Amino acid sequence: MSSNTARTNSAKPNPVKPKKPPVKKPKSTGNLHPALEYAQSVAQVSAGTILGITMLASSIVAGGLVGLALSFRNLPDVRVLRNYIPSETSYVYDMNGTLLDSIHDEANREVVNLNQISPDLKRAVLAIEDSYFFSHHGINPSGIARAFLANMEEGETVEGGSTITMQLVKNLFLTPERTMSRKVAEAVLSLRLEQVFTKDQILEMYLNQVYWGHNTYGVETAAKSYFNKPASELNLAEASMMAGLIQAPEVFSPFVDYQKAKERQAIVLQRMRQIGWATDAEVAQAKATPLKLGEITSFRASQAPYITDAVVAELTSRFGREAVLQGGMRVQTTIDLNLQRKAEETVRNGLASIQRQGIYADQMALVAVDPRTHFVKAMVGGVDYSKSQYNRAVQALRQPGSAFKPFVYYAAFATGNYAPDSVVMDTPVTYPDGDGYYTPQNYDGSFYGAMSIRQALAQSRNIPAIRLGQEVGINRVIEVCRTLGIKSPMEPVTSLPLGAVDLTPYEMAGAYATFANGGWHSETTTIVQVTDSKGNVLLDNTPRPQLVLDPWAVAALNSTLQDVITRGTGTAARIDRPAAGKTGTTSAERDIWFVGYVPQLAVAVWVGNDDYSPIGTGATGGGYVAPVWRSFMYKALEGVPVETFKPMSNFVKP
């Protein structure tokens, strides 16, 4: 269509109107819509004012949009926004509601309702971005002209030409390319959007969608980042500064250039005063109000990285990576951040102390579990997360050595054929094993002959454990481990009672927690509950304890394991209350352990090298790890009442 045709069709014909001299048209560039080319040609030859030209071009565009809409039948259907859920940041909290970490993809966003946004902020944004928002229908041709003149008068951009509806459409549906076809599509979609949604709905979507700088999207996350408060609590000074960021967030960011941010704030306040949305006194007060800045919240470090890594891994396996990064989850973990801090301190100081004693170990892991709920209260996966993100608490499969023996002794007690004072033989023995034979040895190479089970376990004698394993059956021992929540692979080898299997500290702490709770078991977990941003429950790990072990057999084991601490290999773990536990040392001296418990807390501590190299001759769990366990328990149980284990006499022997 030629420019003359566009001009003829843009107004009602007048057949009696005198003819005017022909206007010479400039050569078409081919880059503009014909209607706008005509406006451009008039601008080059007319003696009219700038305002007249701008208004004419704007009127032509507005009048032609209905026809243009027919040409854009392939544009997105704006009705899909009725079910649109923007990506949201997921938040991870400790058991007391303390924020541990925020997890997001590119967009760090928290969605809120329009009534949760400060009126000052809504007015400030509308004033600088689209002060005629509530009077136009998606596009504002006269507003374009006003913005042009206002910007010319001020010598800088003080008012935008695009409406808020157009900005929202551009962000949600279109590419950022600067072409006429994209601008026309933006206008058409804006008209459609205003037919489907109310002004309040559009404004709410915009304020939750717009970019505020530093990977922060949406007004709520921006308010918490810039001013450490929710959007509902922003005052006029804060609101006007935030509104000024939208045009160029990183340029005007107070984190980047505070003075420039203040200058931009003044422009917003001046605009609000100009249109009557703020008085002179309010503007003066806002300019004078001191601003206390928050901090950039995007991609900040976790307060408990080993914990949050484990939580994210579990959530990803359940819901998928995209749901975790963009689903706006609210995750309440089982972790007590105060106890976590004590655990981290214990690991750092404990390993340093061990190394000073000549033990060549480079890592330590600690897991603390509440036996009553099987909630993980603290978990440390290594000495320094900044140097190694490998979480040894849940990922490192290491041999537990003699710390495995309680599973064998429980199986023996559960048969009803053995009690703590039953006699077992600590004498040489050989068993067929595969194509050859297996002859177990004690740690010191000696034999004690006949002895009670209580003595054998307290002194960590190997041969009695092997004998009992054969008596009750290795497969039965494996069944006990599975009942206690241990999922790592196990082979029914003769040496299994001595810990010839690879397990994690997480599994060991969870299994011992069931002993501490008298045989009542729940799934060990780091997550209490997960909801979406609207409060809908996605995952509920409320404990549902089940009695999975024989109460008498557990009481017998608890009684026996107390002797390990009071008179056996774990005397370095003595604390000022009844406690049970077991040392663990592998024959190659690659892993040393202490796993112990009181009725309110079970804790596993492992020490070793990531490359499985030996840590030193004579290194034992009782000599080096038990003191670390004791140190942590003193801190963890401060102020916790002393409880005793239920005696065997309370139960019937099977």
d(CA 92, CA 170): 32
- Residue 49, C-beta contacts closer than 8 angstroms, at least 6 positions apart: none
pLDDT, position 179? 57
Residue 40 in any domain: the answer is yes
**What one-letter code names the amino acid at 114?**
L
d(CA 521, CA 71): 67
Residue 444 in any domain: the answer is yes
d(CA 599, CA 152): 76
Q: Where are the beta strands (DSSP E) in 176-299?
A: 211-213, 216-217
Clarify whether residues 23 and 135 are in a common domain: no
pLDDT, position 153? 73
**Each residue's pLDDT tens digit, 266-292:** 999 999 999 999 999 999 999 999 999
Specify whether 129 is catalytic: yes
Q: What is the mean pLDDT of residues 212-220?
A: 95
pLDDT, position 221? 95
Q: Which two tokens stand for residue 566?
A: 């009071």
pLDDT band at 37 (very low <50, low <70, confident <90, very high): very low
DSSP state string for 415-441: TTS--TT-EEEES---EEETTEEE---
pLDDT, position 82? 82
Q: What is the mean pLDDT of residues 50-76?
A: 51
Residue 407 pLDDT greater than 80, yes or no: yes
CATH of the domain at 178: 1.10.3810.10
d(CA 110, CA 94): 19
Clarify whether residues 18 and 146 are in a common domain: no
d(CA 532, CA 650): 46
pLDDT, position 653? 94
List the single range of 13-22, 53-62, 343-352, 497-506 with lowest mean pLDDT. Answer: 13-22
Residue 266 in any domain: the answer is yes
d(CA 515, CA 403): 13
Contact 606, 380 (CB under 8 A): no
**What one-letter code names the amino acid at 300?**
R
Residue 331 in any domain: the answer is no
pLDDT, position 396? 96
Contact 570, 593 (CB under 8 A): no
Please name which of 38, 639, 278, 266 lies closest in space to residue 258, comparing C-alpha atoms. 266
Domain boundary among 243, 268, 288: 288
pLDDT band at 79 (very low <50, low <70, confident <90, very high): confident
Clarify whether residues 396 and 522 are in a common domain: yes
Can you give the pTM of this predicted structure? 0.82
**Each residue's pLDDT tens digit, 307-355:** 999 999 999 999 999 999 999 999 999 999 999 999 999 999 999 999 9
Clarify whether residues 31 and 139 are in a common domain: no
Question: Which entry of 37, 129, 186, 194 is annotated as an active-site residue?
Answer: 129
pLDDT, position 83? 79
How many alpha carbons fall within 13 Å on the CB side of residue 185? 21
Residue 564, sorted as left (phi over 0), alpha (psi -120 to 50) or beta, turns out to be alpha
Contact 227, 238 (CB under 8 A): yes
d(CA 177, CA 83): 27
Q: Where are the beta strands (DSSP E) in 104-145?
A: 108-109
Clarify whether residues 642 and 498 are in a common domain: yes
pLDDT band at 173 (very low <50, low <70, confident <90, very high): confident
**Each residue's pLDDT tens digit, 346-405:** 999 999 999 999 999 999 999 999 999 999 999 999 999 999 999 999 999 999 999 999
Number of domains within the chain = 3
pLDDT, position 446? 95
Provide the sign of the torsion angle of the four alpha carbons 391, 394, 398, 404, taken in this order: positive
Question: Which entry of 41, 102, 402, 533 is annotated as an active-site residue?
Answer: 402
**What one-letter code names the amino acid at 58?**
S
Pinpoint the alpha helices (H) of 337-446.
337-356, 405-414
d(CA 460, CA 35): 93
Clarify whether residues 465 and 588 are in a common domain: yes
- Percent of residues in the chain assigned helix, strand, coil, to nearest 5: 45, 15, 40
Instruction: Say what angle helices 180-196 and 50-69 make with each other, to 10 degrees.
Output: 70
Q: Look-up: residue for tokens 């089940």?
A: 546
pLDDT band at 174 (very low <50, low <70, confident <90, very high): low
The helix or strand, by DSSP H or E, that contains position 330, with its residue range, turns out to be: strand 330-333
pLDDT, position 649? 95
pLDDT, position 27? 38
Clarify whether residues 510 and 614 are in a common domain: yes
Contact 268, 244 (CB under 8 A): yes
Domain boundary among 33, 48, 69: 69
Q: What is the mean pLDDT of residues 80-92?
A: 88
**Residue-wise burial string across 227-260, b where 16 or more C-beta atoms lie within 10 A, e elsewhere:** beebbbebbbbbbbbbbbbbbebeebbbeeeeee
- Residue 351, C-beta contacts closer than 8 angstroms, at least 6 positions apart: 361, 362, 363, 364, 383, 607
**What one-letter code names the amino acid at 64?**
G
N- to C-terminal Cα separation, the chain: 97
Q: What is the mean pLDDT of residues 202-210?
A: 94
**Each residue's pLDDT tens digit, 532-555:** 999 999 999 999 999 999 999 999
**Each residue's pLDDT tens digit, 417-444:** 999 999 999 999 999 887 889 999 999 8
Residue 414 in any domain: the answer is yes
Specify whether 643 is catalytic: no
Q: Are strands 330-333 and 90-93 parallel, antiparallel or unpaired?
A: parallel
Domain boundary among 288, 320, 335: 288
- Burial (CB count within 10 angstroms: exposed 0-12, middle 13-18, buried 19+), residue 576: exposed
**What one-letter code names the amino acid at 167?**
Q
Q: What is the mean pLDDT of residues 129-133?
A: 92
Please name which of 205, 171, 200 lies closest in space to residue 81, comparing C-alpha atoms. 205
Contact 3, 27 (CB under 8 A): no
Contact 302, 271 (CB under 8 A): no
Residues above pLDDT 70, as percent of the chain: 85
pLDDT, position 162? 85
Q: What is the mean pLDDT of residues 224-252?
A: 96
pLDDT, position 33? 34
Residue 11 in any domain: the answer is yes
Residue 516 in any domain: the answer is yes
Residue 94 in any domain: the answer is no
CATH of the domain at 509: 3.40.710.10
Domain membership of residue 238 as a residue range: 117-288
Clarify whether residues 143 and 12 are in a common domain: no
Q: Is 642 helix (H, G, I), strand (E, B) or coil?
A: coil
Q: Where are the beta strands (DSSP E) in 506-566?
A: 520-521, 527-531, 537-540, 546-547
Q: What is the mean pLDDT of residues 450-478?
A: 97
Residues above pLDDT 90, as percent of the chain: 75
d(CA 254, CA 618): 59
Instruction: Say what angle helices 180-196 and 199-209 make with each other, to 10 degrees.
Output: 130
pLDDT, position 147? 60
Q: Could you give the maximum distance between any two Cα atoms of the chain, in Å?
A: 129
Clarify whether residues 516 and 383 are in a common domain: yes
Q: Is 451 helix (H, G, I), strand (E, B) or coil?
A: strand
Instruction: Say what angle helices 474-483 and 405-414 make with each other, to 10 degrees.
Output: 100
Clarify whether residues 382 and 523 are in a common domain: yes
**What one-letter code names the amino acid at 271?**
R
CA distances from 495 to 169, 246, 499, 564, 590 (A): 68, 68, 7, 22, 17
Clarify whether residues 636 and 537 are in a common domain: yes
d(CA 420, CA 560): 6
d(CA 406, CA 564): 11
d(CA 584, CA 594): 6
Q: What is the mean pLDDT of residues 459-475?
A: 97
Clarify whether residues 57 and 129 are in a common domain: no
Check residues 177 and 587 and name the one with the higher pLDDT: 587
Q: Is 603 helix (H, G, I), strand (E, B) or coil?
A: strand
- Residue 590, C-beta contacts closer than 8 angstroms, at least 6 positions apart: 398, 399, 608, 609, 612, 613, 614, 615
What is the rounded average pLDDT for all residues in the chain?
Answer: 87
